[in-house]
């Protein structure tokens, strides 16, 4: 299931009334990222780099969190609250498609949930 088609995610909402192609278009519009996102493999591990307003933010994912990402993605798709934890990194999804919360001991980043972000998470697990 593609989370952003919203078919199974919100089966009883008004979106279910619309034709699939229109739903797809709407969700692409709503979930369009307003930042750039890149996945790369660094010596210290898989890395997600987010760029916006001149700020570049790289998050290194410890190995013990990578294996938990598929479950996180599944829960996001089903709109279920989920927190996964690895060494010095915690990722939380609180539902309602608002944001992804990434916490390290000295920082906290809130990233709007958008299609490219989900795609990037899936790509991370393939590295």
Partner 1 sequence: MERFERVQAFPGTYFEILPLDLRKLLVLYIYQCNFNIRIDRPQIYEKIYIYTKLHIYDVGKGIHYTIRLEKISIPDLENLIKFIALGQSIEIRGTDLHIIYSGFDLDLYIRSYMIELYIPLCKELINTLIELNKFRK
Nearer to partner 1, 70 or 112 (CB): 112
How many residues contact partner 1, by CB under 8 A?
30
Whether 110 and 94 have beta carbons less than 8 Å apart is answered as no
**Minimum distance of partner 1 from residue 19's CB (angstroms):** 26
Q: How far is C-alpha 43 from the geometric centre of its chain's CA atoms?
A: 23
**Subset of 54-113 contacting partner 1 (CB under 8 A):** 54-62, 87-89, 97-99, 104-113
Q: Is the dihedral of CA 125, 92, 29, 13 positive or negative?
A: positive
Take residue 66 and report the two structure tokens written for it: 């990578």
Closest separation in Å from C-beta 22 to partner 1: 22
The C-alpha atoms of residue 120 and residue 116 are separated, in whole angstroms, by 6
Residues found near partner 1 in the complex (CB under 8 A): 34-35, 50, 52-62, 87-89, 97-99, 104-113
């Amino acid at each position: 299931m593609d989370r952003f088609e919203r078919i199974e995610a919100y089966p009883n909402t008004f979106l279910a009334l619309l034709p699939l192609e229109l739903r797809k278009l709407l969700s692409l519009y709503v979930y369009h990222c307003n930042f750039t996102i890149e996945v790369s493999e660094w010596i210290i591990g898989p890395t997600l780099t987010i760029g916006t307003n001149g700020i570049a933010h790289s998050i290194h994912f410890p190995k013990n969190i990578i294996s938990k990402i598929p479950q996180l993605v599944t829960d996001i798709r089903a709109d279920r609250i989920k927190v996964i934890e690895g060494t010095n990194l915690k990722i939380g999804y609180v539902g309602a498609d608002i944001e992804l919360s990434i916490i390290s001991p000295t920082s906290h980043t809130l990233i709007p949930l958008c299609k490219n972000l989900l795609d990037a998470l899936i790509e991370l697990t393939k590295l």
